[in-house]
Structure 1
């Protein structure tokens, strides 16, 4: 049975353009594969701890800096529990609006919590970094109000899809597909473009 982890990075609920795309995709997946399991993390309602000094100190022990004390171990156990929910999934589905040319800060917080040595990546002084995930799939649904790929610089830049794509590859995700509704505001036919994006999302499910 396939387990999907749907990570919601938009706070706009039913008004979210990126979430409309993910919901269309997930509904099509469920229709096509009824036994698929869908786990949802709404980052705006998730209880995500701060990545504080104890957690940073625990992380650095993997690079030979300091020792794992009781406080560090307790902090690290929190990180492991959050990350295990991520690693247990077979497929990741992200709804990601563009904020200031990047990803929403709640998503960056989540990424910074789970991107840890020995959990999502390994490191060797000679070989460098290596992703630890294997046989994982990601489907990413992007929206932006003004920015669009290839648009003039006055409409922004892409530290949004480019960052998330880099991170997924960094941790070892082997297959990444995306659907964009960009822009959602500066377009001659917003309703038509939105419907076309939903259709692309449904097609991706098949």
Structure 2
């Protein structure tokens, strides 16, 4: 059975276009495959632990810096629990609005928790970083109010979809579909832009 992890990265609920488009995709995928298992992860409702002293120190032990003691191990066990939920999925669907040129802070927080050595990536001095995930797929739904591909620099820079594609590829996910609703505000016909993105999401599903 295929498992889909639907990651909600906006706190705006039904008012979020990225949420709506991602939900459209998930519902279309579920209609096509009734046996699809869907796990919904709302990052603004989830209790995500701080990635602070103990988990950060635990991470560094994998690079030979320090020793894993009981407090570090307990923190690392929580990181592993959250990361294993991510690893268990076959397909990731992310609805992500652009915030200040990048991704919402709760998504960055989640990425920093789960992107760990020995779980999502490996490292070798000669080879560099390499992803540990295999046979995974991602569908990324992006929205932004003003920025759009090819926009003049005065409208901002994309540290949003570029970052998400880089991160997914770094952890081993190379099968990536990207649906854009950009821009949603600085456009003469936002409804037409949304309808186009909605149709693309349904077609991909």
Report the TM-score when normalising by structure 1: 0.98
> What does residue 193 of structure 2 align with?
193
> What does residue 48 of structure 1 align with?
48
CA distance in 1, matches of 2:175, 2:197: 20
Unaligned regions of 5+ residues in structure 1, if any? Answer: none
SS of residue in 2 equivalent to 1:201: helix
SS of residue in 2 equivalent to 1:183: coil
- Which sits farther off after the overlay, 119-128 or 96-105? 119-128
SS of residue in 1 equivalent to 2:200: helix
Report the Cα offset of residue 125 of structure 1: 1.4
Report the Cα offset of residue 174 of structure 1: 2.4
> What does residue 89 of structure 2 align with?
89
SS of residue in 2 equivalent to 1:123: strand
CA distance in 2, matches of 1:152, 1:5: 35
> What does residue 67 of structure 2 align with?
67
SS of residue in 1 equivalent to 2:39: strand
> What does residue 38 of structure 1 align with?
38
CA distance in 2, matches of 1:98, 1:40: 20
> What does residue 107 of structure 2 align with?
107
Q: What CA deviation, in whole Å up to 9, does each residue of 1:9-50 have, x standing for no partner?
A: 011100101111111111110111010011011000001000
SS of residue in 2 equivalent to 1:169: helix
Unaligned regions of 5+ residues in structure 2, if any? Answer: none
CA distance in 2, matches of 1:174, 1:99: 24
SS of residue in 2 equivalent to 1:4: strand
CA distance in 1, matches of 2:135, 2:100: 32
Q: Does 1:23 align with 2:23?
A: yes
Report the Cα offset of residue 53 of structure 1: 0.6
Q: What CA deviation, in whole Å up to 9, does each residue of 1:63-100 have, x standing for no partner?
A: 01111000110010000000000000000000000000
SS of residue in 1 equivalent to 2:139: strand
Q: Does 1:4 align with 2:26?
A: no
Alignment of 1:153-192 (within 5 A): 153-192=153-192
| Pairwise CA RMSD | 0.6
CA distance in 2, matches of 1:184, 1:153: 17
CA distance in 1, matches of 2:75, 2:170: 24
CA distance in 2, matches of 1:49, 1:20: 27
Report the Cα offset of residue 126 of structure 1: 1.6
CA distance in 2, matches of 1:33, 1:2: 9
